Amino acid sequence: MAQGGNKIKGPVTWQSVGLLVCVGGGLVGYFNIVEKERLERLQETKLGKSVGRPDIGGPFELIDHFGRKVSDKDFRGKWMFIYFGFTYCPDICPNEMMRMTQILKLLDEGEHTKDKIQPIFITIDPERDGPGQLKEYLADWHPRILGMTGKPEIIMKTGKLFRVYFTKARLSEKPDDYLIDHSIMFYLMDDQGNFVDYFGKSLAPEAIADKITKYVSGTSDDNTHCPNSLVNNMCVCVSVCMYTRMCI
């Protein structure tokens, strides 16, 4: 029987209790620090503090493939994953849409990315790509990809916001007989509409999905960013539908 209430008999001693309290407090402190650092990295990703990045993106108002007016503000709370292309593209765009679908399937399985990504296909060929054409075209790809179009001047303005290169390459004198040379990039915008990174053809779908997961979860670092995203004067490699390459 303990005397004076000051002693603990058996394997448990005041020293072991004190050690347990210290260890427990240390673990709580450690996990608080880890969580604080994760939130700081996530905030830096959103604000673009890490490195000076190009001024890409901005407000836009377009028409989706259901015929509804939409703007960038409609996607607050979602990370926009954007591709610029056109439905009459013979090979490049179908390949990129296949890659986008693969990326989205990987992200749909992720704990941090499920239901947080809004994929968007913005046409650079508004004369031929109306809402109906976009809806029919996108039916072959991931069901959540939202197609967008608009008046030519609006598409031109939106393309400039994202530094998208595109120009018509006419094949004959017929008005609708043309292809469009264009840059090939996926753009990632955070849940407040700010530019985070872009991904070119050299990255595999698995690598892109991994980078997006790190951004969304707040575990990214300077090594996560694609190299060209970190400079103000962006050099964009352009793969053209007519099998040429150029740099702008």
Sheet with 195-199, edge to edge strand ranges: 69-71, 61-64, 146-149, 117-123, 79-85, 186-189, 195-199
The pLDDT score that the predictor gives to residue 237 is 43
Predicted local distance difference test score (pLDDT) of residue 225: 79
pLDDT of 244: 36
- Average pLDDT of the segment spanning 91-115: 96
What is the pLDDT of the chain when averaged over all its residues?
81
Residue 51: the pLDDT is: 47
pLDDT at 240 over 90: no
Per-residue pLDDT tens for 1-53? 444 555 545 555 666 656 665 555 555 454 455 455 555 555 554 444 444 55
Distance in angstroms between the alpha carbons of the first and the last residue of the chain: 86
- Rg of the chain in Å (alpha carbons): 25
DSSP helix/strand/coil, 66: coil
pLDDT > 50? residue 81: yes
At 247 the pLDDT is 31
Q: What is the pLDDT of residue 32?
A: 56
Question: Residue 179: is its pLDDT beyond 70?
Answer: yes
Q: From CA 149, how far away is CA 87, in angstroms rounded?
A: 11
pLDDT tens digits, residue range 123-160?
Answer: 999 999 999 999 999 999 999 999 999 999 999 999 99
3-class SS of residue 18: helix
Please state, in angstroms and rounded to a whole number, the distance separating the CA atoms of residues 146 and 143.
Answer: 8
CA distance 12 to 239: 71
Nearest to 101 by CA among 209, 233, 242, 239: 209
Higher pLDDT, 73 or 46: 73
pLDDT of residue 9: 52
As given in the structure block, the two tokens for residue 15 are 């020293």
Residue 14 φ/ψ, nearest 5 degrees = -60, -35
Q: Are 199 and 188 in contact (CB under 8 A)?
A: yes
Per domain, the residue ranges of the chain are 61-247
DSSP 167: E
Q: Answer yes or no: is pLDDT of 57 > 90.
A: yes
- Determine the Cα–Cα distance for residues 82 and 189; give it in Å rounded to an integer: 8
Confidence class for position 246, pLDDT limits 50, 70, 90: very low
Is 122 strand, coil or helix? Answer: strand
Instruction: Please name the CATH architecture into which domain 61-247 falls.
Output: 3-Layer(aba) Sandwich (3.40)
**pTM for the predicted model, two decimal places:** 0.74
Query: Contact, 123 vs 148, CB < 8 A?
Result: yes
Reported confidence tier of residue 94, pLDDT bands at 50, 70, 90: very high
pLDDT of residue 223: 83
Query: What DSSP letter does each residue of 49-82 carry, written as one string?
Result: -SS---------EEEETTS-EEEGGGGTTSEEEE
